[in-house]
Structure 1
Amino acid sequence: MYTGRSLVVAVSIGMIALVLLGKLFLIQVTDDSYLRKAERNAIQRVVDHPYRGLVYDRNNSLMVFNDPVFDLMVIPKEFELEDTTRFCDLFGIEKQVLIDGFNAAKNYSWVKPSPLIKQISKEEFGRVQDFLIDYRGLFVMTRSVRAYPQSAASNALGYIGEINASQLNRDSTRYYVQGDYVGLSGIESYYEPELRGRKGVKYKLVNVRGIEKGAFKNGDLDTLSLPGENLQATIDLDLQVYGEKLMQGKRGSVVAIEPKTGEILTMISAPVYDPNILTGARFGENYQSLNMDPEKPLFNRPIMAMYPPGSIFKIVQSLIGMQEGILTPNTTYPCNRALVNCHNHPSPVNLFGAIRNSCNPYYHQAFRQVINQEVSSNTYEDTQIGLDKWRESVMKFGLGSQLGIDMHGEKGGSIPSSELYDRIYGKGRWKYSTIYSLSIGQGEMLVTPLQMANLAAIFANKGYYYTPHLIRAIDGDPSRIPEKFKTKRDTGIDTDHFDLIQDAMAAALSGTAARAIMKDITIAGKTGTAQNPAGEDHSVFIAFAPKEDPKIAIAVYVENAGWGGRAAASTASLLIEKYLTGEINRPELEEYVLQGEFIY
């Protein structure tokens, strides 16, 4: 017989037993969360990183490929090290680097692998691979870095690097994790979604000590990685290499465009650097060195540098004046040097002569007629109205805003408005005499070399352009390039006005850039000298050729090289010859450019 006390104890024990049995039933039968946690503890998830897509030039020459590197992975619980000095000597690292790497791995997990030494080159791996058997808890994971058969087009191609915290936070797709590599500049960045491919995953069974015991569920849950899509660039690699040779020892930029398509044939930012140095384990060290270089090789001059266009802008002024009906081929002005300085040439000149001789006083007077059309009896108000109307016309030439190239970081330049001068001088306190320097491409006007090359393409096409771009096909399909690169953009200038412009540009070379003249190919060009208050002026030249059927439009800026008819025109002429004929038959001109003694 149970007493009252013993009955209570027996009932309590029974209830506890029932509760425990119920809980076990729930855990083992109805609730699989513990099973999943147990499986996770016994499963090693290994990401299979895809190969990035390759990049070819317009003639299918390989520009960028993948080179294997090896990450040395460590499982902290398994790793034992008796001779630290020998290990560090073997792998070529400092003791503190080893300690920091191992501590980071421990903080991540005692039983899961994480990188101990990243990006061991295939040469280094070949040297140390036989010694890995001496160290428990280490294994190798293969990855890849970019490699370049020709050390060219570094700023156009860009580079990849490890993703940072801010980029991870902006990744709405949740594709990336810490340690992944991502395009950081150039084509690599803009076309990251196409180039990166798709990750694969393998699940491996491991015991409590982290030792692999085979595939989880016979590999049924594994997924294969998919390589990135290949890109065909618009760049002509041979032309790019030759252009970089010509720009050695100089600062500046070269941009050449196929006028009928907007495809960029070459994009050079000088000084150049070897893109191979921004790959592999020394990326950080080399990047810091380039970033601190006073010559700024990482500064992408074709799309970021901004200069006054100088005399080249006189062609735009001519076209706007003709479209407005203010200028005609017979409009004549004297070369009045009391208005603005000029060089020696016959006077007076008509519009053709003004372009051919680059007459500054002509454009001083012509621009006044464009701006002050006596729309208002108030001179200040009349100038404001005229300037803003003129600005609208100028911006149709792709100036004053980003063109929209397939690269990040493009600058838009500056075409001044009445609002700018109101801020500088005060509303109603400025007039034509304040802004006349705009007439010859100086003053507050700024353009990029890319925009100047695009101007050359507009003059070649007689009034239209396609947005300049660096990619002509994605995975072999030309139709997949963004639609904006296939959209024709009109400047609003009648085609007829360009006949005089092209003829005058061809004639101009004999007066201002005789070195650029070729024997069998007619080049239409315009020199410029961009003022530089910090030193020697910049040498500028734009051109297109052949004049009868343009296949290349080009802009060259050589900083601190003086007159445009020397450095810039000579460089452009050689590149035109190289592209159109495939060879150079003017060795004396080539030697002149390579020596670079332009201002003596």
Structure 2
Amino acid sequence: MNEGRKDIIQVLVILIALVFLIKLFAIQVLDNKYEKLADSNAILRQVDYPVRGLIYDRNGKLLVYNTPEYDLQVIYKEIKNLDSAEFCKVFRLTREELRTAFKELKKKKEYSRVKLTTFLTKLSNDDFARIQDRLDDFDGFYIQARSTRSYTTSAFANALGYVSEISKNQLGKDSTRVYKQGDYIGQSGIEAYYEKYLSGQRGVRYKMRDVDGIDKGSFKDGELDTVSIPGQNLTTTIDLDLQLYGEFLMQGKSGSIVAIEPATGEILAFVSGPSYDPNMLSGKYYSANFKFISSDTSKPLFNRPLMAQYRPGSIFKIAQAMVALQEGVITPETRVVCNRSIINCHGAHSNEDLRGAITHSCNPYFHNVLRRMLNKGKVNDPFEDTRIGLDEWSKHIRSFGFGSPLGIDLPNEKSGLVPNSNFYDRAYGGRPWKFSNIYSIAIGEGENLVVPLQMANFAATVANRGYFYTPHLVKSIGDGGKPLPQYLDKHYTTIDTSYFIVAVDAMQNVVQGGTGQYRASLKDIIVCGKTGTVENNPPMADHSVFIAFAPRDNPKIAVSVYVEDAGQGARAAASIASLIIEKYLLGATQRKHIEDYVLRGDFL
């Protein structure tokens, strides 16, 4: 019995010894945490933040650059006899702010008494100049140099986006594990979309210190140091002069201007109104300014060119015409009586062919055209016949880029809506529906939704006679580079190229003798355009809409303009679009009276 107990005790002793040996091995060999803790007093690890890439306009004008910024970091264990009153005086803090800073320090995930942890952020050049000679008075505190974004202009803010500290939620989703708490990251716009190109790669330096914390030079002669790699510069497609002019015209208005070069899909102007000064979302006062801008009821952070969804209105009649020609239900010579008892219309016309119907924006004509497309008599059941026709129509309309995101190089692009049979099945809850229930989509009303970017792209597609390049804002990544490969591909519609000449003729007629003749016509330049007046919720005025391209042959610019609550498309939107075209092609307007009319804003 005693021998058995002795054996059991020996086994237990051996097992306990093994456990201690394994733990000791793990601590000394496998886990370098304790080694780091031991070395932290002798070796200081300092991050070398990379310079973020610069951003230019298409003509080489600088838009976004970097200015120095500093963080104050601390190793808590090294703080000795801190004179809090003097510290507050040097760093311009109240005692309460200092106490709060220490409380927040200890809450940080990365906090350690023996490691550098960020204490204060966003110190400016002026702050640094004031404190650098006093820093030695406060043991344990160190300066970390970095940079923040600055802007040469107040324009283009909604597309450029802004940079701020990475959030905990973003850190949790970062599969690359590149970012650390306190790092800056693009939060919206180009800054977010091209983050991996702009951000560069951080470096690190290791410094030796003696027991008093005095710098003794590089650890191992810099053998373990890595150099930061700057981010790549971006050249945008934007013409800054045109962008500034567009924002000038949109002052005091809500809406958007999108101008595209049809031959490339490069966006020349991208105006969202109202907007904000991008310098407000940079530097020390970012948080306060962001709260202020976010609470503005006019929604300056709302990127209208790609997030606002409107009914397309009468400009959609051009797409309807192209689809009807492709489906063979009409010819360019088809005439339809303007029967206003079926659907309301306007203007002095009565029995137009297709070109005339587009020129005069005849609602009964396109009501008739859509009925022909949706009810071809493929089956006897009118409900099923409409379903079949609608899905064929939807396929063609989607080929223009409607109903789904185009793929612009910005986040948060909306898709708009092109209804199909599944959509109406859900909308009617399984009850039957037919043409008479949905005919308002014939004139761009009803369930149709588009974003302004899609309408500018549509104008470019007509200008190209049937194809488009995906609209994009960056034409070169790196010095002498190219855009992303997806922006070099042509996208063809399902419509035969020969039919687009009808649309081009009609859009020319709109400007020369139709609804756009008074404010969209330019001397010596053939402008092709289409007005639209988009229904709004009463008692608000309708939205003013206009799309155009110019010149007719070898077009250089395609434009869409939306001005909210401004009434007829022939007024506000047509005026602004023609001024944008004039500015881009001629360098300035020759029609000061139209510019003055736009700036007055008296459209109703």
TM-based fold match above 0.5 = yes
Q: Which residue of 1 aligns with 2:317?
A: 314
Task: Give the partner amino acid of 1:181.
Answer: Y
1:495 pairs with one of 469, 483, 497: 497
TM-score relative to the length of structure 2: 0.91
CA distance in 2, matches of 1:291, 1:93: 27
Q: Which residue of 2 aligns with 1:294?
A: 297
Is the Cα–Cα contact under 8 Å of residues 381 and 428 in structure 1 kept in the other structure? no
1:402-551 mapped onto 2 (5 Å cutoff): 402-427=405-430, 429-479=432-482, 481-509=483-511, 510-513=513-516, 514-534=518-538, 535-551=540-556
CA distance in 2, matches of 1:465, 1:495: 12
Is the Cα–Cα contact under 8 Å of residues 82 and 138 in structure 2 kept in the other structure? no
1:276 pairs with one of 247, 262, 279: 279
CA distance in 2, matches of 1:300, 1:98: 39
- Structure 1 residues 317-354: Cα deviation after superposition (integer angstroms, max 9, x where no partner): 00011111111111000111101111122211110110
Q: Please say if 1:247 is aligned against 2:239.
A: no
Deviation of 1:511 (Å): 2.3
Q: Which residue of 1 aligns with 2:569?
A: 564
Q: 1:78 to 1:590 in 2, by over 3 A?
A: same
Deviation of 1:82 (Å): 6.3
- Structure 1 residues 172-230: Cα deviation after superposition (integer angstroms, max 9, x where no partner): 11100110000111111111111000110101123455443321111111010010001
Deviation of 1:40 (Å): 4.7
Q: Which residue of 2 aligns with 1:346?
A: 349
Q: Please say if 1:39 is aligned against 2:43.
A: no
Is the Cα–Cα contact under 8 Å of residues 255 and 274 in structure 2 kept in the other structure? yes
- Partner SS, residue 497 of structure 2: coil
CA distance in 1, matches of 2:412, 2:396: 25
1:396 pairs with one of 394, 399, 402: 399
Q: Which residue of 2 aligns with 1:57?
A: 57
Q: CA RMSD in A?
A: 2.2
CA distance in 2, matches of 1:441, 1:31: 71
Q: 1:31 to 1:173 in 2, by over 3 A?
A: closer
CA distance in 2, matches of 1:226, 1:407: 25
CA distance in 1, matches of 2:431, 2:443: 24
Q: Which residue of 2 aligns with 1:224?
A: 227
Q: 1:106 to 1:208 in 2, by over 3 A?
A: farther
Q: Which residue of 2 aligns with 1:375?
A: 378
Q: Which residue of 2 aligns with 1:69?
A: 69
Q: 1:184 to 1:320 in 2, by over 3 A?
A: same
Q: Which residue of 2 aligns with 1:13?
A: none
Task: Give the partner amino acid of 2:529.
Answer: G
Q: Which residue of 1 aligns with 2:367?
A: 364
Is the Cα–Cα contact under 8 Å of residues 76 and 102 in structure 1 kept in the other structure? no
Deviation of 1:429 (Å): 1.7
Deviation of 1:110 (Å): 2.8
CA distance in 2, matches of 1:428, 1:331: 35
Q: Which residue of 1 aligns with 2:187?
A: 184
CA distance in 2, matches of 1:334, 1:598: 32
Q: 1:85 to 1:248 in 2, by over 3 A?
A: farther
2:239 pairs with one of 236, 244, 247: 236
Runs of at least 5 residues in structure 1 that lack an aligned partner in the other structure: 1-18
Runs of at least 5 residues in structure 2 that lack an aligned partner in the other structure: 1-16
Deviation of 1:536 (Å): 1.2
Task: Give the partner amino acid of 1:252.
Answer: G
- Partner SS, residue 539 of structure 1: strand
- Identity in percent: 52
Task: Give the partner amino acid of 2:377.
Answer: E
Q: Which residue of 2 aligns with 1:100?
A: 100
Q: Which residue of 2 aligns with 1:3?
A: none
CA distance in 1, matches of 2:428, 2:400: 28
- Structure 1 residues 17-57: Cα deviation after superposition (integer angstroms, max 9, x where no partner): xx9xxx9xx99xx9696766633553221110001111111
CA distance in 1, matches of 2:318, 2:68: 52
Deviation of 1:158 (Å): 0.7
What is the aligned length? Answer: 576
Deviation of 1:566 (Å): 0.8
CA distance in 2, matches of 1:302, 1:546: 23
Q: 1:366 to 1:227 in 2, by over 3 A?
A: same
Q: Please say if 1:256 is aligned against 2:259.
A: yes
